[in-house]
Amino acid sequence: MSIFNGLQINASGLSLERMKLDVASTNIANVNTTRTAEGGPYKKKKVEFSENLRQAQGTNKITSAGVKVTNIAEDNMTKLTYDPTNPDADANGYVEMPNVNMADEMVDMIQAMRTYEANVSSTEANKNILKKALEISKD
């Protein structure tokens, strides 16, 4: 176990939360996108992640190295909205819209921001601990 494990764990958490913010902002930006390059409406995305485990060299001991993004999943659900003036409307006047709920996305963004802030605070605490360890070793 390294003295820098805490910083590595915090860094992985910061990276994950940044990815969540990016995905949520992309979902919000495409809330009304009815036509994509792939065809059809925008598909809502969600970050999937898991614990990042590492085996210590020369031992059978497994330690945590933070988190890692495992997948960015797409939600294939769509909702139908009646808008016969839309060029993407079907013969009955219904348009397939992305299954993006603005309130849910805003909640996800706030949660990611708060978790990011907590990781920053934890990183600062880790840095202070390492500074104190260096000061102790000077004496």
Q: What is the pLDDT of residues 23-78, one digit of tens each?
A: 999 999 999 999 998 888 999 999 999 988 876 666 777 777 789 999 999 999 98
Band of pLDDT at residue 1, cut at 50, 70 and 90:
low
Q: Report the percent of the chain where pLDDT is more than 70.
A: 96
Mean local confidence (pLDDT), 78-107: 93
- In this prediction, residue 58 carries a pLDDT of 67
Average pLDDT of the chain is 90
Strands 94-98 and 78-82 turn out to be: antiparallel
Q: What is the pLDDT of residues 120-136, one digit of tens each?
A: 999 999 999 989 988 88
Amino acid found at 77: M
Q: What are the C-alpha distances in Å from 9 to residues 50, 93, 98?
A: 13, 51, 35
Among 25, 52, 18, 41, CA closest to 88: 41
Q: Hey, which residues does 48 pair with through a beta bridge?
A: 71
Q: Would you put residue 112 in left (φ > 0), alpha (ψ -120 to 50) or beta? A: alpha
